[in-house]
Every structure is written in C-alpha cells, then in structure tokens.
Chain A
C-alpha cells in the first residue's frame, strides 16, 4: 500500500454506478475505492455480475449512459504532466487520454478486432489519432512492436486481416495495439479467458514482461484466481458491486479474511479426486468400448456455388474403454476434437469409421429406431446451460419428456417423479412451472443434469458441464455430479479443457490433441509423470494458486 501512496497513477474513491432497468434502478457498483501505482499490477477479481468490468469501463466513459448512471465518485488520474478527475472530465478530454495514456485490452480477440480492416490499419490508428504521426512513421513503429510481441514476419502480417490470425496471435495484436502509444495505465479485461491454457501462459508472460519493461500500471480484471495469483501484486475481490477485500496477493491468498474470499478460494478446484466408497468395475468387462473411431467433417459450402472448405478429420483413430462406475476425464484444447468424440460416442454425430459398443452392443450400425431403447441407457450433459434447454418448455416439461417418452413414468404419477428428480439435483419444488430464462446459469445446469439422469442411464457424456459457470457455482455442480455418480452408479465420460477440474473428478484421464489420443492413464499417475510431450506442456501451462 505504501508504494501506491507515493507514486499513485490512479486513485478511485467512492465510485457508485447504477443502471436503469425495467424494474427500476439496479446498483452495479457500490462505493468502490482502489488505488494503483506506476509499475504495479492490481487484479480485480470477481464472478460474473460482480461489477468488475463496469467499474473500469465507467472510468473510461465506455458504459452507455443511459442506462448507466454514475452516482458518485472521483477517479484521480495522475500523469507526468498533470492530474485530473476522469469521472468529471468532458468527453473530449477523456478521448484525448483514451488510447494514448490509458489503453485497454479486451477479452475476446475474435470479436474485438474489426474484421473489415487490416490489422495494420487498426494498429496505427491510435498513433495517427494521438501523436499526429504520418502513416509511414506509424507503420514503422507498428511493425517494430508486432515483432516485439512475437509476431513473425511482421512486415507482411501488417497487411493481413484479423481472421488470418489464430486466437493467440490476435491477442498479441491487441496487446501491440494497446501499447503502441506507450500508455501509462493499461486495463486488461479478462485478456486470456478466451484462450487455451498453453496460449494463456504465453500471453500472461508477454504481458508481464512488457509491463515491467515499460513500468506500466496494469489493472487486470479476471474471474480466474489461479491466473491472478501468477500475475498480480495486489488483489481486490469484488462481489455484488462491492470490494469485499483487498490487499497484497500473497496475503489475500494465504490468509483470506472475508468469508466470500475464503469461499472463492475453497471453490477453486485443486488436488486429486476425493476418495469414494466404491470402486470401478473390472477392466475386462467395460461398459463402453470405442475402437478406431474416426469422424470426418465434409466442409459444407455457404451457397450453391460458393467454394467448399476442405474436409477436416475431427477424430482420428481413437480407441478407449470406459469401465462401470468410472469417471473418465477427456482433456484437450479447443479444436482438439474432444466434443466431437463425445457426440460420436453417443451417436449424435455419425462416425465415419470405427466401432462404439455399449455393454457389448455395437451402436454405429443401428438405425434411429433400433437406437431408441439404448438412448435410455446413455445421456448427455451439454456445456451451455442457456442453449441446452428449450426456452419454451417449463422445468416440468423438460424433465417429464424423457420419462414419458421412454414410458418410465405413467401420466398419473408423473409429477411425483419429476419432483423426485428435482430433489435429486437440488431444485426447489416451487420452480416446477418456471421457464429456463427465469433461472441462473447454475440452476439451469441442474435442470439439464436432471433431464440427463431422468431415464436412469448407465453412461453419461458430460461435455464441459461446468465451463460456463462461475467458480463457486462450478464447485457446487461438480459436487452434485460426484454425488449423483455415486448415488446412481453412473459411468461418465467427462470432457473438459480445464485440467484442474478434470483432476478433481476423474479416475482416469485421456489426453487429446489434433483429433488423436496422445496419452491415457490413471489421473494421479499421469499428473505425477506425464509421458507425452504434449501432456507435459499442457500441465506446465496450468496456473496455480
């Protein structure tokens, strides 16, 4: 704190923001104070809706007003030349600072770069706007900086469009764009959330290095405590618009004072799977056997005579077995084919070659009618709890559908069964007539899980079931899944990109890369001694608390 006092670049006091909604005023930020010094990294941590982004965007005039209203507060921004209150500055003053002294890195490099302009054009914009540089000067500087952030062949890439870059490369461009005017304050809003874990590690390292070289103050907004632990010197924890606790990173992570901070830290998955009272079935009689599975996507063209993209091999010669009562983790980065593998197993996608057998029964050759009785025995939980529920069906409709369809329940006692199912997944009886949009993400996922276990299946494919959820909710849903596995003797293929989550739930793990299985083994053994190079790099990239 002492450092901040001496060399403070931004000092925010008593900031309150509310939004006008249909139901009146909603307080988004409540009397927030924080301070950041030159060369320091301050992380603002919180779950979705905690007001962490709103807080920062309001300082920059980037929240739409209306509906946003800044009720009170000051934000002293001190540069080498002068000192001013950002919140009471007029638009023109703010604009002269933005993109010059203060720069922002946004979350999704996919959508945050203009797809219609070349990367170079977007890069030099701040220079031309604020430093009155000619285009050729700016171009030279931009190419230098592109090289510095690790983009090879920067000269030619300067004229490329954003879609010609990969996600990680795009985020490097974003960083270059933010740094091009040599700002004194950098605000990074979830800069690595949309990236794979290995790319995340690279971007974090890059950010940290550039920041140190330039002595920039960095405000790092994140929901991910592990990431924060690796980059920030100080942390402010936000919940429901308030900073509940702030201080030195070390101190907060080791001795959290506020109960919410404690709960947050406890929710971060870490360490192995808790001991269970039962053992997986024998290896020689697996529930599911997958052999040489291959799924190829024929590219479909956008129009009749539009060019057809080349075919992609999403799953390439994959074989594995899943025992009774086993939770098998399947990890891989985006595009590794893990979701396609899950869908091919459960026959949502017809595999191109290979075999999938459930309890000795071959599935790939069956027609939809023949498959129907088997569908009862295998179910799926999807990633997005917003998209996986029919918005026009109530909880009752959603849960009753599989019961009635497979004639598990009679119409007479259907409501009793639905209620029992709701108990099972921890939903209140009173919510039975509600529609999905009336629920939070975690509750929706409970509904989706209820639907999956309604038919008393043996096999469940869970495709990233907790990735869309906040960390505290994620912990609750993981607990629920583990409890259900135990209670109903379920076997589960648990697909996730998050290695810590997989470690906390899986007995065995499969690692997938570019459509192929690169490694498999018992979870803890694999963690202790990964044999494939890819697994090693994956594990090394995981940030720790």
Chain B
C-alpha cells in the first residue's frame, strides 16, 4: 500500500523498523555474508565490464608463447594456445553468471507461481499438483539433461530450460509449504473475515511473507545452477568452444593438469570462490530472515 503520501501530511511520527530493516541489520553483523555480497557485487561488475577492462581478446592466440605460467603480462598465465587465462576466466564468468541468474529466474517464476497456487487452493488441486512434483522428483534428471544435450545439441536456450526445469521443483515445494502454513495463520483468517478476495490476500498477505524463504532459496539456487552449467560444460555438453565457460576451462585444465596445473587451479578457484560467496550470502540471509531470530 502506498501509505507514505497519505501519511506524510498527517504525521511527522518516528519511523517503525520493518522486518526487512531488522534483517538488514542482522545481515550486517554477519561478516562472511557481507564478504560474500561484496565478492558477488565485484564479480558482477567485472563480468559486465569485461569487454572494456580486458587487454586481450578471448580468442586472441599467441602460439609462440604457448602455455606460460603467471607473469606480469599474463597475470594468470596462458593456455596451450597462448590465450590469456584471466581474460578467458572473465569471459567465462559472463556465461556462468548469466546462466546462474537466468535459469534461477526461470525456476523462481515457475516455482513461485506453482507453489502459491497449490498452497492456496489446497485440497484436491494441491494434491494433484504436488503429485506431479513428486513424480518429477523421481525422474533421474541428471540423466535426462545429459540425454537432452547429447540429442538436441548444445543449445544454450535448451540449457536454461533444462536447468530451470530441475530447479523449480524445490522452489515450488518451499513456497507451497510456506503458503500452506501462512494460510492457517490468524492474520490471513482476519483478512478473509474483512472480506478480501483471494487475489488481494495472495498479494498483500501471502507473498510478502513468503519473500524471505524465497530470497534465501534463490541465493542458494544460483550456485547450484552455475554448478550444473559448469558440470555440463565439463562433460562437453554445455558451452561450445571457442566461447569459454568455467566448466569448459576446468575440463581443459584437467587434461593438462600434470604439466600446466595453473590451467586447472585458477578456473577452479574462480568457480569455488563464487560458490563460496553465494553460499555464505545465502546462509547469512537465512539467519537474518529467520523469524525465530527476529524475536530477540
């Protein structure tokens, strides 16, 4: 509700502290989560600005140089074709982050809508909808994704779809559980007894209260998705060369790790640091948004 303009005229009263603000204060106390947030922000900015901040092109080869260890010209060294590793990692981050965010958004959209509908409708509709989720859970998804990728070729759109299709299930379950327990809360009964319609109840009373767990789960889904993409690329089923992705770089690194270990270690570090940052951020958010923690 756009209360502020209505209120400004009437009252100069002190501001209340919303649960969001409280959560933000709690998050600020969590050093690891803040570090995670910082790393992610830096990484996103770097990924966005990659074409402008890199000295070398990602395809630029220097066959004379070959694989060289880290040096002043090439901070993280070069690969067997003499391509600058830092540049390739930065370009790879664009793909990895994009897949992470887009596929998560797909999962978020499907999961939240599906879960809210199932949880709000309840009864038979809910039972049928959740039965579908159960069945999908029983499918060996990893195997299906591999199959899809092998059969229909390495199509990035398909990759998004396939990953989104896996990740929405858990999101739907979480949202449905939340909505179901919220529906029994007295404040929702109060809204019903005021006479609010289903849409108003969902919009004003249910969704704002499911936001916490959804945000937390989203933060934890992004690393899962990035992992999946890297994994598929590692198997040779994701991004195609000469484009680079972290999984692809790691896969090349493994082939040559005995001679040129930095080709494995640096892309691996990039992936792990990102996963660490997102997981710490997710955990921090979980603690910050936990209603039980909010009481003291």
Contacts and interface: CB of A to CB of B under 8 A. Distances in A.
A384 B197 contact: no
B119 to A, nearest CB: 14
B296 interface: yes
A435 B18 contact: yes
Contacts of A346: 193
Contacts of B15: 433
Contacts of A455: 194
B200 to A, nearest CB: 8
Q: Among the interface residues A368, A378, A433, A438, which one has the most CB atoms of the partner chain B within 10 A?
A: A433
B204 to A, nearest CB: 7
A131 interface: no
Given A304-B131, A433-B15, A387 B7 contact: no
Interface stretch (A279-287, A397-405, A486-494): A397-405
B273 to A, nearest CB: 31
A437 B294 contact: yes
Interface in A325-376: 343, 346, 348, 368, 371-373, 375-376
Given A304-B134, A392-B208, A455-B194, A438 B11 contact: no
A169 interface: no
A448 B186 CA distance: 11
A384 to B, nearest CB: 6
B9 to A, nearest CB: 7
A388 B3 contact: no
A393 B15 CA distance: 13
Nearest to A412: B6
A348 B189 CA distance: 7
Contacts of A392: 18-19, 208-209
Contact of A380 (B10, B185, B189): B189
Interface string A392-427: 111111001110011000010011100100000000
B190 A375 contact: no
A372 B3 CA distance: 24
Contacts of A406: 194-195
Interface of B is mostly: helix
Given A371-B195, A435-B17, A448 B190 contact: yes
B18 A388 contact: no
Interface residues of B, number: 40
B13 A414 contact: no
Contacts of B208: 390, 392
A415 B17 CA distance: 20
Contacts of B195: 371-373, 375-376, 402, 405-406
A397 B19 contact: no
A135 B142 CA distance: 52
A405 B196 contact: yes
A434 interface: yes
Contact of B190 (A368, A372, A382): A382
Contacts of B209: 390-392
Query: For chain A, which range describes its interface: under 10, 10 to 19, 20 to 34, or 35 or more residues?
Result: 35 or more
A348 B191 CA distance: 10
A415 B12 CA distance: 12
Contacts of A400: 1, 3, 6
Contacts of A389: 187, 190
Interface in B1-32: 1, 3, 6-7, 9-11, 13-19, 22
A364 to B, nearest CB: 15
Contacts of A411: 6
Contacts of A431: 13, 16
B19 A437 contact: yes
A391 B19 contact: yes
Contacts of B38: none
A416 B10 contact: yes
B190 A433 contact: no
A375 B193 CA distance: 6
A393 B130 CA distance: 31
Given A380-B190, A382-B190, A433 B7 contact: yes
A432 B11 contact: yes
A387 B184 CA distance: 10
Contacts of B121: none
Contacts of B6: 400, 411, 414-415
Contact of A368 (B197, B204, B205): B197
A390 B14 contact: no
Contacts of B131: 304
A411 B15 CA distance: 21
B104 to A, nearest CB: 24
A383 B189 CA distance: 12
A375 B127 contact: no
17 contacts: A21-B296, A384-B186, A388-B186, A391-B291, A392-B208, A393-B204, A396-B3, A405-B194, A406-B195, A411-B6, A415-B7, A429-B11, A432-B11, A433-B7, A435-B18, A438-B16, A455-B194
Interface of A: 21-22, 304, 343, 346, 348, 368, 371-373, 375-376, 378-380, 382-384, 387-397, 400-402, 405-406, 411, 414-416, 419, 429-435, 437-438, 448, 451, 455
The 7 A-B pairs with the shortest beta carbon distances in the complex, nearest first, are A375-B195, A434-B16, A415-B10, A388-B186, A382-B186, A433-B16, A372-B195
Given A372-B197, A405-B200, A437-B22, 10 more contacts: A304-B134, A380-B189, A380-B190, A388-B189, A389-B187, A391-B209, A396-B3, A415-B9, A419-B10, A429-B13
